[in-house]
Amino acid sequence: MLRLLLWGLAIWLAFKYLVPALRRLTVAQPPSPPVDPGAQETVRCAHCGVFVLRSEAVSEGADFYCSEAHRRAGRS
């Protein structure tokens, strides 16, 4: 009978202390990197392949270029 009580006590202690500890471990995940609100979309120059900010790119039709010179030179 005493053995049964000890087992019950052991199980109760395990649930009281181990389960919350395990729950903390599984919940403690690394925070996801914050999304930079200032991040801008980049586009690829159709001539040389360099990536430039969309706001600074020169566009012609569906193509983007890093500079006016590359826009004149056209697709490579």
Residues interacting with Zn ion, by CB under 5 A?
A: 45, 47-48, 66, 70
Q: Could you tell me the smallest distance in angstroms from the CB atom of residue 69 to Zn ion?
A: 8
Beta-carbon contacts of 50 under 8 Å, excluding residues fewer than 6 positions away, are 44, 66
Closer to Zn ion by Cβ: residue 23 or 75: 75
Closer to Zn ion by Cβ: residue 48 or 53: 48
Closer to Zn ion by Cβ: residue 23 or 72: 72
Contacts made by residues 9-17, CB under 8 angstroms, sequence distance 24+: none
C-alpha to C-alpha distances, 74 to 41, 44, 51, 58, nearest whole angstrom: 22, 13, 16, 11
Q: Could you tell me the smallest distance in angstroms from the CB atom of residue 51 to Zn ion?
A: 10
